[in-house]
Amino acid sequence: MVVARPNLSLAEKLFFPALLTGIRITWKYFSRTLVAVITGNRDKRVTLYFPEEKWEVKDGYRGAPTLVKDEDGREKCVSCQLCEFVCPPKAIRITPGSIAPDSSNAKIEKAPREFKIDMIRCIYCGMCEEVCPEEAIFLRKDYLFTGLTRAEMVHDKKRLYELGGVMQRPIKKWANK
């Protein structure tokens, strides 16, 4: 089956209709924004003046994963590596370690020696938070992570705890002491 090509007019061959349509749409949004800025009506504006104004994060937003500690400053992560296994882009890397035998928490079999999340690879899916049995990973409502090198975007355990902070919930692994 052969499909016949339509005969284009000279204006269509020179892309004038498409060019004029693009200019018309651009002028419409430019004039709408200009009027909103002049009148001070922020509701009709299309532009968000970043960084003075920031996007409002709605409920259910899945941001960057972080590690949290309990009220006593103890690590919640037991290095089960479920988050590493379930991560679709393989952005999480955990090196299991052990707790010192003379520690009061020696009954726990392991704790992470290294915990790294590559924020460039992370797709913010939230699967790591859902699968964590100890509620050690939480997603922040923050979307501003920048770095000048790739190494700055790989968050280690120390950085993840700085971002996550302390979670005011009972921790499961310390309950039967």
Q: Is residue 53 part of a domain?
A: no
Q: 38 and 69: one domain?
A: no
Q: Which residue(s) pair with 154 in the sheet?
A: 118
Would you state the pLDDT for residue 114?
Answer: 95
Q: 78 and 25: one domain?
A: no
Q: 70 and 148: one domain?
A: yes
Q: Which domain holds residue 149?
A: 65-164
Q: Is residue 50 part of a domain?
A: no
Q: 130 and 77: one domain?
A: yes
3-state SS class at 8: coil
Q: Is the dihedral of CA 112, 134, 82, 65 positive or negative?
A: negative
Among residues 163, 139, 136, which one has the least CA distance to residue 74? Answer: 136
Residue 44 is encoded by which pair of tokens? 């009709």
Q: Do residues 44 and 35 lie in contact, with contact meaning Cβ atoms separated by under 8 Å?
A: yes
Q: Is residue 169 part of a domain?
A: no
Q: Is residue 147 part of a domain?
A: yes
Q: 24 and 73: one domain?
A: no
Per-residue model confidence as pLDDT tens for the chain (177 residues): 899 998 988 877 888 888 899 999 999 988 888 887 788 776 766 677 788 888 888 888 888 899 998 887 888 888 899 999 999 999 999 999 887 777 766 666 678 999 999 999 999 999 999 999 988 999 988 777 788 999 999 999 999 999 988 877 655 555 554
Q: 81 and 144: one domain?
A: yes
DSSP of 30-83, one letter per residue?
Answer: HHHHHHHHHHT-GGG-----TTTS-PPPPTT----EEE-B-TTS-B------HH
Tally of domains within the chain: 2
Q: Is the dihedral of CA 160, 137, 86, 147 positive or negative?
A: negative
The letter for the amino acid at 140 is R
Q: 75 and 26: one domain?
A: no
Alpha carbons within 13 A on the beta-carbon side of 144: 6
Q: 69 and 151: one domain?
A: yes
Check which CATH number belongs to the domain holding 153 and give it. Answer: 3.30.70.3270
